[in-house]
Homo-oligomer: A and B are copies of this chain.
Amino acid sequence: MNKKQQKSALSESQSKPLSGNVSPESAKRIRGFRKNKFSEKDLLKELLNGNKTALGKGITLIESNQKTHQKQAEYLIEGALPYAHKSIRIGITGVPGVGKSTFIESFGSYLIDQGKRVAVLAVDPSSSVSHGSILGDKTRMEKLVTKPEAFIRPSPSGDSLGGVARKTRESILLCEAAGFDVILIETVGVGQSETTVHSMTDFFLLLKLAGAGDELQGIKRGIVEMADAIVINKADGDNQKAVRDAKLEFNRALQLYPPKESEWKPEVKLCSALYNDGVEDIWKMIKEFKVKVDDNEYFHHNRLEQNKFWLFQTINDYLKSRFYENPKIKDALKEQLKMIEENKTTAFAAAKHLLSLA
């Protein structure tokens, strides 16, 4: 085992999925990993014992696009499944600058003080470009990183949000099997990433600033509708009036939505992550939420629905890519698009023709 890795909660990917070639550094790591003769069986055992190095290695296998790694990952996931599902998964979103890292640092540390083990994952489909813009900067969670009860992992890089989503969902299972009982999943407000994180978490928390004037943005994009709580961060200093106004406004906005299937009424909370103010109240609220959705069985029901959603999503994505990547279809599609452009066929006739070729 690598002692340095074991010390730090910030585990880095040991393979470069989709980069085509494996970087020399990664290759060295993978060779080291093989030399250790850490068999899948041992790895699973260590992982189930809560060993963070084993967990990190397991996630690396999930993130790898190499066939042998994928087989090993499948073995691990299958072995982890009976021990998973025992956490609460909390999605955290908010625009850049809202203080997500500071909030997670503060909230995560509080949870560890309460005796919890906390895993922090991220979904950032842009990370293949920016090389992990969120959670990539270790210094932003320096307190949490050093705690043995914390496991922090940057976003997997992937070609598509779908790929990142699969890897993150499988990583959640491994974290749970390794005994982490609170999973925080951070995302940036980019495209569909919030919807994706919402569809893999139990509780969805929207971080906001007072007076930022982007209230309508969140409503327009459906983010407010998904939120189980809106937390107004940086509620400190001279900010009091703006914070009170924002709280009123968000409470009003929340009332305009139909009741949630979970029967949970979303709340607006204030927080100063910098001064560790408000995190206790937020955890209290999430515990109340958990009691409610355990009682009415929504918690279990929702996780099942999420599984079904991902099943269909995966199938549909694959059906499309198989069709459109067929060379015969590629050529014929070009032709049909040209004919549409020249008013020689309709969209429906063209579709019918293309489908007859597959």
A256 within 8 Å of B (CB atoms): yes
Q: Tell me which residues from 76 to 97 in chain A have a Cβ below 8 Å from any Cβ of chain B.
A: 77-78, 81-82, 84-85
- A147-176 vs B, CB cutoff 8 Å, 1 = contact: the mask equals 000000000000000000010011001000
Q: Considering the chains assembled together, what is the distance between the CA atoms of A170 and B310 in angstroms?
A: 34
Identity of the chain B residue whose Cβ is nearest the Cβ of A77 in the assembled complex: B346
Copies of this chain, tallied across the complex: 2
- B314 near A323 (CB under 8 angstroms)? no
Given the contacts A320-B316, A354-B315, A310 and B220 also touching, CB distance less than 8 Å: no
A190 within 8 Å of B (CB atoms): no
A319 within 8 Å of B (CB atoms): yes
The 8 Å CB contact of A340, one of B307, B319, B341, is B307
- B315 near A351 (CB under 8 angstroms)? yes
| A350 CB contacts on chain B under 8 angstroms | 311
A12 within 8 Å of B (CB atoms): no
| A315 CB contacts on chain B under 8 angstroms | 323, 351, 354-355
The 8 Å CB contact of A346, one of B173, B257, B340, B348, is B173
Q: Tell me which residues from 202 to 227 in chain A have a Cβ below 8 Å from any Cβ of chain B.
A: 216-217, 219-220, 222, 225
Identity of the chain B residue whose Cβ is nearest the Cβ of A166 in the assembled complex: B348
Give the one of A74, A216, A337, A352 with max B CB within 10 A. Answer: A216
A14 within 8 Å of B (CB atoms): no
- A304 near B85 (CB under 8 angstroms)? no
Give the one of A253, A336, A345 with max B CB within 10 A. Answer: A345
A260 within 8 Å of B (CB atoms): no
| A222 CB contacts on chain B under 8 angstroms | 220
Q: Tell me which residues from 331 to 358 in chain A have a Cβ below 8 Å from any Cβ of chain B.
A: 336-337, 340-341, 343-352, 354-355
CB distance from A219 to the nearest CB of B (A): 6
- B351 near A84 (CB under 8 angstroms)? no
Q: State the A residues within 8 Å of B (CB).
A: 74, 77-78, 81-82, 84-85, 166, 169-170, 173, 216-217, 219-220, 222, 225, 253, 256-257, 304, 307-311, 314-316, 318-320, 323, 336-337, 340-341, 343-352, 354-355
Pick 6 A–B contacts, CB within 8 A, sort by A: A74-B349, A81-B344, A82-B343, A216-B253, A307-B340, A319-B355
Additional 14 contacts, C-beta under 8 A, given A166-B348, A220-B257, A311-B351: A77-B346, A77-B349, A78-B349, A81-B345, A169-B346, A216-B253, A219-B219, A304-B340, A304-B341, A308-B340, A310-B347, A311-B347, A311-B348, A319-B319
